[in-house]
Structure 1
């Protein structure tokens, strides 16, 4: 009996995979139609539905893929990630700290590895800038992957699809955030003040500046009224004689 026949006889489809795979194919198939009306400069609200659909598809793909070991460490699979893990080391921060302490005592500390793609909860996070073209690139990659994704595909292909969906979701989510139309770094999503001068269009900063200007003005002091005059001013009627 050949190795291929042994593998085919010993392989069993994971429970629920056919239904989840059909659901994933359906969700990925509708994304292209929803992207046709988008263009560079589209309103952020138009990306809300795309981001929601991508996140739903990502959750389905993550359930199809094997469980993530965020660190790749058998002792601390869900521990903290080391952002500066040297070449040849794992990503577990706890194990790398122990290794650094041992090497520091011997006077040899390895140089940190060059920065790579960030990962959040084990899934990749693309670097900015986040543009519509980058989102379309990830969706084209997903279109190519889903045609080759079957019930018997290896786990690595499901992992690849989940990673690409997470990248696309991050880009769509960032594009759905309010744009900085006012040019204010403190309130990027603030409305614009139509009466403010150029460069000061943030309505919150403009209002705060007006309040500060009013409070900085010298208060006007009213003339002091002597005590006798004050009593006379308070009388509304003359006293009757005798």
Structure 2
């Protein structure tokens, strides 16, 4: 097929030029925000970056073919079957019907790409910058007539960058406590026990329990006299 025939048979998906221009604008803003970050920046400073990357990811996901989390045409975003038999799909709803012998369930076809990738830790500012640089290289390298696989890879790369920024925006475990990772540090606690919540609980547990003191029972007549123990202001 000649290049002229190929150009006649190809049509750019509707909205792609606008979506690609919108994505590049969002990435430019993200790059400016990341340049303002520094090692040891507070997690709250990553909040805006994570939000901007998620917005850019949604734009990139709109440029790529729709992904299916289950590989099922009927329930693409349904629940996953953790014990799917060999040769079956991953859709829990359809597999449940297959287990009950329902023959109306369509046969499983070719599995499509499922979900979006999540990078492994560690999550640091340098890792975030590398992911964003990779995204920028891909975003400004694709065109409106690029194949769908390139937009899929662009959306995957943006999702990785978003995950790193989201993890960096979480409260840091400065106290070293697995139960309360975002707890404040108790300056009076011994080393290794800086969690203020755990330190307070430990102090309460170490206090010697005191037997509550029971007050003597007051009879009705005596109870009425209690109100007359003190003279009322201006009374006689």
TM value normalised by structure 2? 0.73
Q: How many residues align?
A: 206
Q: What is the aligned partner in structure 1 of residue 125 from structure 2? A: 132
Corresponding residue number in structure 2 for 1:9: 8
Aligned-residue offset at 1:186: 0.7
Indicate the residue corresponding to 1:164 in structure 2: 157
TM-fit CA distance, 1:194: 2.2
Superposed CA deviations along residues 48-102 of structure 1, whole A, max 9, x for unmatched, are: 111011000000111111111224455764455577999x97873669x79xx9x
Q: Is 1:53–2:55 an aligned residue pair?
A: no
**Out of 174, 178, 181, which is 1:185 matched to?**
178
Q: Deviations over 1:82-141 (max 9, x none)?
A: 77999x97873669x79xx9xxxxxxxxxxxxxxxxx9x711111122111211111111
Note closer, same or farther for the CA distance 1:84–1:220 as it changes in structure 2 (3 Å cut): closer
Partners of 2:36 and 2:193 in 1: how far apart? 33
Note closer, same or farther for the CA distance 1:7–1:85 as it changes in structure 2 (3 Å cut): farther
Residue 33 of structure 1 pairs with residue 32 of structure 2: yes
Taking a change above 3 Å as real, the CA distance of residues 49 and 66 of structure 1, as seen in their structure-2 partners, is same
Q: 2:90 — aligned with what?
A: 92
- The answer on whether the counterparts of 1:81 and 1:91 sit within 8 Å (CA) in structure 2 is no
On the 8 A contact 2:72/2:91 being kept in 1, the answer is: no
Using the alignment, how far apart are the partners of 2:186 and 2:9 within structure 1? 69
Residues 135 and 83 of structure 1, relative CA distance in 2, 3 Å threshold: farther
| 2:4 aligned counterpart, secondary structure | helix
> Does the aligned pair in 2 maintain the 1:76–1:92 contact within 8 Å?
no
CA offset at residue 156 of structure 1?
Answer: 0.8
Counterpart CA distance in 2 for 1:143 and 1:75 is 35
Q: 1:156 to 1:189 in 2, by over 3 A?
A: same
Match of 1:141 in 2: 134
TM-score when normalising by structure 1: 0.71
1:153 is the counterpart of 2:123: no
Runs of 5+ unmatched residues, structure 1: 102-118, 225-233, 237-242
- The partner residue of 1:212 within 182, 189, 205 is 205
Contact 1:65–1:162 under 8 Å retained in 2:
yes
Instruction: Give me the whole-angstrom Cα distance separating, in 2, the residues matched to 1:81 and 1:221.
Output: 59
Task: Please say if residues 190 and 204 of structure 1, whose CA atoms lie closer than 8 Å, have aligned partners that are also in contact.
Answer: yes
User: How do residues 47-86 of structure 1 correspond to structure 2 at under 5 angstroms?
Assistant: 47-73=46-72, 77-81=76-80
| Partner secondary structure for residue 125 of structure 1 | coil
Q: Which moved more, 1:144-153 or 1:159-168?
A: 144-153
Provide closer, same or farther for how the CA distance between residues 29 and 78 of structure 1 changes in structure 2, counting only shifts above 3 A: same
